[in-house]
């Protein structure tokens, strides 16, 4: 799952497979909480793809994604932001 913010005033929350194929999408107002969308998108993805067993989410979705993964009986991996290199 990741947030896409190409359009002003809107946020797109997407679920894709490991090859980038779109599984689920949710569009919200930009001022809506990002983390609150995790459960909706994860549920939508699993409803369409019943064999879904493992999910990866970025840290912005962590707490809501953990609750949704538990409810959906899926394994969840939360990605960490890469550490910045020290500038010279």
pLDDT of 46 reads 87
Q: What is the pLDDT of residues 18-56, one digit of tens each?
A: 888 899 988 888 887 777 888 888 888 888 888 888 888
Contacts of 67 (CB under 8 A, 6+ apart): 39
Classify 21 as helix, strand or coil. coil
Sorted by where each begins, the domain ranges of the chain are 2-79
From residue 58, give the alpha-carbon distance in Å to each of 16, 50, 62, 79, 87. 13, 22, 7, 5, 25
């Amino acid at each position: 799952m990741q947030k896409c913010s190409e359009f002003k005033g809107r946020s797109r929350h997407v679920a894709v497979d490991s090859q980038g194929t779109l599984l689920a999408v949710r569009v919200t107002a930009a001022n809506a909480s990002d983390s609150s969308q995790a459960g909706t998108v994860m549920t939508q993805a699993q409803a369409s793809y019943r064999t879904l067993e493992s999910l990866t989410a970025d840290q912005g979705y962590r707490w809501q994604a953990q609750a949704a993964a538990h409810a959906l009986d899926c394994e969840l991996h939360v990605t960490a932001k890469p550490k910045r290199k020290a500038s010279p």
